[in-house]
Amino acid sequence: MRGTRDAAGFLALAAVWGTAFVATKAALADFPPVFLAALRFDLAAGLLFVVAVASGRPIRPAGAGDLRPIATGGLFSIGAHHALLFSGQVYVTSAVAATLVGLIPVLTPVATRVLRPDERLDALGAVGVIVGFGGLLVIARPDPRNLAANAGALFVFGSAVAWVLGAVTTREDAATLHPLATQAWMALVGALSLHLAALALGQGVADATATAAGVGWLVYLAVVPGAGGFLLYFRLLDRLGPIQAGLLEYAIPPFAAAFGWLVLDETLSPDTVTGFSLVLLAFLLVKRRALRAGLRRAFA
């Protein structure tokens, strides 16, 4: 980190995104999961477009270079990711969900190796991937006799895979839009895909009780960790770079666990702590070269 201000921003964003898991869990008491995700991104997309227009930058996509990342990011990183994540959170605690989402930086090199053969994963990195999956197994504790009991962890793991597919298939080399405008369009595409998925699953207004508390959590999800979180993320990404910003995935679970305990009386199991430690170790093995280079630049 380049200073107290950056460190404060990093911790603030980790805390804000940590609360998102708790807010989702609370809102699920009033809304079916995929429909909840759709409503969240309806609101978030509107707010992001307002900010993008107010910034004075162009917001109209200019050709395939802008449309491709909007489509892939919207369908996978927003749509499929949140449909699976919110569905999984029906069954697992906030801390477990945040920890499993931490597999994203571990899974990314694997998907990149398959979809972009020019990228390679060395032997120690492969060990890191295996360790990461070990963390998943420790948390999920799969029981072949009762696979339904593991549905939540599997859904959340699937959400991490969906996010990674969106990330590795989204090439922004030829993009002309500012990232904020691109994110606004992604949120809109994601919201539309989530509404279609909710309709296919039979989830809608009739299934929502929409109490004042539930609506409050929904608005919080859209405004604070949604639009506000992305605005802060882009600022930190510009100041810190992708390596240090990527460490957010490992600062979020402790906040999710703390807020889950404070707000929802969730408990933190030893398996979750062990699994988090394995996932963090996996990240350090897979990203060791990039982390080493980032540290050298930071302290040069």
Q: Model confidence over 121-134: pLDDT tens digits?
A: 566 666 766 776 67
Percent of the chain residues topping a pLDDT of 90: 30
Q: Within 13 A of 268's CA, how many CA atoms are on the CB side?
A: 17
In the chain, domain spans: 4-299
**pLDDT confidence of residue 139:** 64
pTM comes to: 0.81
Q: What is the mean pLDDT of the chain?
A: 80
**CA–CA gap between residue 265 and residue 100 (Å, rounded):** 20
Question: What contacts 66, CB < 8 A, 6 or more positions away?
Answer: 175, 176, 177, 182, 185
All residues at 6 or more sequence positions from 254 whose CB lies less than 8 Å from its CB, including other chains? 18
**In angstroms, how far is the first alpha carbon of the chain from the final one?**
12
Continuous segment of H or E residues that includes residue 232: helix 229-240
User: Are 114 and 49 a contacting pair, CB within 8 Å?
Assistant: no
